[in-house]
Homo-oligomer: A and B are copies of this chain.
Amino acid sequence: MSDTRPIGIFDSGVGGLTVFSEVEKALPGEEIVYFGDTARVPYGTKSKETITKFSVENVEFLMEHNVKLVLVACNTASSLSLDFLKRCFRVPIVGVIAPGARNAVDSTRNNRIGVVGTNATIISGAYEKAVKKISGRITVYSRSCPLFVPLVEEGWVDEKVTYEVASIYLKGLKSKGIDTLILGCTHYPLLKGVIKKFMGGKVVLVDSAREVAKEARFILDANGLLNKNPGRKRHKFFVSDEPGPFIRLGERFLKRKIKCVRTAV
């Protein structure tokens, strides 16, 4: 059996390309439809109701492209809206929180895990709950870092001022002696350099992208949904605003050219 329908990925904007990239590596036989909600980005400062409304619309858009699986690449939408999305749609839907939490639990040796994310993600406590579900012995320390996304979007991933902002946000987590830090926002992997520099080389930085891709492969495999058609794969990228800024920033995320980005109306 072979299912040639694409995998759908949505994010509030460009950050979900970190998930796209890992899915492409883990599942080279699959086509991907990516949707970035660039007209309404960011989600991390907004309420659960608003984020859920936007997320439902995003999944509806992907469904129009006949996707067989939806990946919610956005940490904020995964934290606040995943349960609702699962109740609304019959297609399998995977978020980034549980995979990231599993990854962190596997990594920690001293049972002290840190989480950084947007305001909405941190307030939701989603990572903490997901970690506790796996192991009650682990303590989770959280911190929202609202300036990290604009710093990445400004391209200041390695500046002195970014290091200083990171120090302000992370000093509390460092003082707790965490040995694992979940980068709970798709933009944050681009700040690995400064975060590592401040936290020290021994703290393991965990992001969800690779784990999500693995989970996507399991689900497709288990349900006989893998695409075994050997033809060339064409991914599609859609955004809700004009494509220019998405392409410029997206090429920094993917470290390659992005072609054929269209505005969905």
Interface residues of A (CB under 8 A from B): 38-41, 45-47, 49-50, 146-147, 149-151, 153-154, 160-161, 164-165, 168, 240-242, 244-245
CB-CB < 8 A to A151: which residues of B? 147
Which one, B46, B147, B164, B245, contacts A154 given CB within 8 A? B147
CB-CB < 8 A to A245: which residues of B? 45
Whether A50 and B164, one on each chain, are in contact in the complex, defined by CB atoms closer than 8 angstroms, is: no
Chain B nearest CB, measured from A43 CB (Å): 10
Nearest chain B residue, comparing its CB with the CB of A148: B150
Whether B161 and A241, one on each chain, are in contact in the complex, defined by CB atoms closer than 8 angstroms, is: no
CB-CB < 8 A to A154: which residues of B? 146-147
Nearest chain B residue, comparing its CB with the CB of A54: B39
- Quick one: given A164-B161, A165-B161, are A153 and B47 in contact (CB under 8 Å)? no
CB-CB < 8 A to A45: which residues of B? 41, 153, 245
**A49 to B39 CA separation, bound complex (whole angstroms):** 10
CB-CB < 8 A to A153: which residues of B? 45, 146
A-B contact pairs, 25 of them (CB 8 A): A38-B46, A39-B40, A39-B46, A39-B50, A40-B40, A45-B153, A45-B245, A46-B241, A47-B241, A47-B242, A47-B244, A49-B241, A49-B242, A50-B240, A50-B241, A50-B242, A146-B150, A146-B153, A146-B154, A147-B147, A147-B151, A147-B154, A150-B150, A160-B164, A161-B164
Nearest chain B residue, comparing its CB with the CB of A150: B150
Nearest chain B residue, comparing its CB with the CB of A146: B154
CB-CB < 8 A to A244: which residues of B? 47
CB-CB < 8 A to A41: which residues of B? 45
